[in-house]
């Protein structure tokens, strides 16, 4: 049995499908502050298996302890957290409260229930401004915004905990840029309000919800002047969590591992690929650079291949086609109107 915190969210829901497909029993703990219950109904529909749900906040230690004891969970995959970089700058206290205090309560509950296997949803934001590319796990760590700092502090918290008690088994999965959706079109990214990530915004332009895309800067030192990022299909990313769980069964370690493709695509390359996948034009305008944006960021994924026997095989065309299918079939996300 696995406890999945934040399992109704974008990455969490796809991970739940892969866990169920791999034969795991799962309990999801979510407060639905940035997700929809419908996603879990669809997860069960895709997998043809049921899951248990605990409607609770990650900061509620009693609910966490109760969920661990009732489920008999042997491991936790921890997705629950606020994740919008821009919002974190405007509301830093909310991010420190939810992400840091929530993780602290979770770890306390795990200690109380003698559960010491954790897969943590970290981020490539812990690398800060890249000093060299591709980004390997030994790159110096820093953060340029409150969201990234919460991930960095949690990583340090986990390393300290493992140092104090080597019985812990921990995988700190540093994601690059998750995109796409399940091939069924039943689950996908459903941002609340204006999307903060590129591909859901592009998809909303393609489906007619937004008039055009702002391309923030075309004067970076990249092949076409626009920012370059490592985009990874969310299903490939979800499968990485299953591989991490399997690896932890034989390793009492606290290990940071990149989950990325090692290939960078520019904003304009993504835009053209989505036009091809959707058959829709994507109007765009060049705007000034945003503060804090970097020119390029992509992973060195060799450690994941070596340790987890994992790679991300989906192509850019796969990512865009699956994202478009989700958007076309669900123009309002999980809401019917």
Query: Is position 147 annotated as part of the catalytic site?
Result: yes
At residue 77, what are phi and psi to the nearest 5 degrees?
-110, 120
Selection from 121, 191, 119, 179 nearest residue 150 by Cα: 121
Terminal alpha carbon distance of the chain: 36
Distance CA(88)–CA(86), nearest Å, equals: 5
Contacts of 141 (CB under 8 A, 6+ apart): 126, 127, 128, 152, 155
Q: What is the 3-state secondary structure (H, E, C) of 241-302?
A: HHHHHHHHCCCCCEEEEEECCCCCEEHHHHHHHHHHHHCCCCCEEEECCCCCCCCEECECCH
The catalytic residue among 24, 95, 147, 298 is 147
Helix residue ranges per DSSP H, the chain: 10-21, 37-47, 61-71, 85-90, 92-95, 102-112, 146-164, 198-206, 234-248, 267-278, 302-308, 316-329
**Residue numbers annotated as active site:** 147
């Amino acid at each position: 049995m696995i406890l999945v915190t934040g399992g109704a969210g974008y990455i969490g829901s796809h991970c739940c499908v892969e866990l169920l497909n791999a034969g795991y029993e799962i309990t999801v703990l979510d407060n639905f502050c940035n997700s929809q219950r419908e996603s879990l109904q669809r997860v069960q529909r895709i997998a043809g298996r049921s899951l248990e749900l605990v409607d609770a906040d990650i900061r509620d230690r009693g609910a966490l302890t109760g969920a661990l004891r009732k489920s008999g969970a042997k491991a936790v995959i921890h997705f629950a957290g606020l994740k919008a970089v821009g919002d974190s700058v405007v509301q830093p206290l909310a991010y420190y409260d939810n992400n840091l205090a929530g993780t602290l309560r979770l770890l306390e509950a795990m200690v109380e229930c003698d559960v010491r296997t954790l897969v943590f949803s970290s981020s490539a934001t812990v690398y800060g401004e890249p000093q060299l590319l591709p980004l390997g796990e030994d790159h110096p760590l820093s953060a340029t915004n409150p969201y990234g700092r919460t991930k960095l502090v949690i990583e340090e918290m986990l390393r300290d905990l493992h140092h104090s008690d080597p019985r812990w088994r921990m995988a700190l999965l540093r994601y690059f840029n998750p995109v796409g959706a399940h091939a069924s079109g039943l689950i996908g990214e459903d941002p609340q309000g204006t999307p903060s990530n590129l591909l859901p915004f592009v998809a909303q332009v393609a489906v007619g919800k937004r008039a055009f895309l702002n391309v923030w800067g075309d004067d970076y030192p990249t092949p076409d002047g626009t920012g370059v990022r490592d985009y990874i299909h969310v299903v490939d990313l979800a499968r990485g969590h299953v591989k991490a769980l399997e690896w932890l069964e034989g390793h009492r370690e606290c290990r940071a591992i990149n989950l990325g493709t090692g290939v960078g695509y520019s904003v304009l390359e993504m835009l053209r690929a989505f036009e091809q996948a959707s058959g829709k034009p994507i109007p765009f305008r060049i705007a000034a650079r945003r503060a804090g944006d970097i020119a390029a960021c992509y992973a060195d994924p060799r450690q994941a291949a070596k340790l987890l026997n994992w790679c991300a095989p989906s192509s850019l065309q796969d990512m865009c086609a699956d994202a478009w299918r989700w958007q076309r079939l669900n123009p309002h996300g999980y809401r019917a109107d």
